[in-house]
Amino acid sequence: MKVRRATIEDIPQILPLWRELSDTHGDMEPMFRLAENAEEKFAGYLSLIFTNKNFAIFVAESDSKIIGYIIAHVSTAPEVYVIRRRLYIQDMMVSPDYRRQGVASRLVKEIMALAKAQQIEKMDLLVAVKNEEANKFWRAMGFEPALHYLNQYLI
């Protein structure tokens, strides 16, 4: 297995993994339920973020097949805060056939190395409360709860 920066040519192989991630989370949390033509729209979104220097996408490959990916972006908080530069992990997915083989850990370590190289001060992400497996993984990677993200659906 190898981990590398993704290219725009990887989008067709990333899409089925993204779809599986979205379907899994859509069952856990209504805000992740997909709209019509979601894959086509997400492909367009990926195409745009490949041109944005604040985003990073890495893929894990085995035998030229993408088996996992991670998407993150850097943001800067206002000068009123001591910790200003953060890297937000937006998505990460590993094909079920390759789980528990260190793929996710390798993807996260690659993002962490990028963050350290760019002197990022903080990394964060959202995890569905009901996704016990993901919560366990992220805690094992050193992430800890910091805030409670509350929401209320109005429709």
Q: If 0-12 CB within 10 Å is exposed, 13-18 middle and 19+ buried, where does residue 72 land?
A: buried
Taking the model in full, what pTM does it have? 0.92
82 Cβ contact list (under 8 Å, min separation 6):
none
Predicted pLDDT at 30: 87
pLDDT for the residue 25: 87
Task: Give Cα separations from 73 to 27, 43, 62, 91 (angstroms).
Answer: 26, 17, 25, 10
pLDDT of residue 115: 96
Domains and CATH numbers, the chain: 2-140 (3.40.630.30)
User: What is the chain's pLDDT, residue by residue, as a tens digit (155 residues)?
Assistant: 999 999 999 999 999 999 999 998 888 888 888 999 999 999 999 999 999 999 999 999 999 999 999 999 999 999 999 999 999 999 999 999 999 999 999 999 999 999 999 999 999 999 988 899 999 999 999 999 998 888 899 98
- Angstrom distance (rounded) from CA 13 to CA 86: 28
pLDDT at 155: 81
What's the pLDDT at 32?
87
pLDDT of residue 151: 86
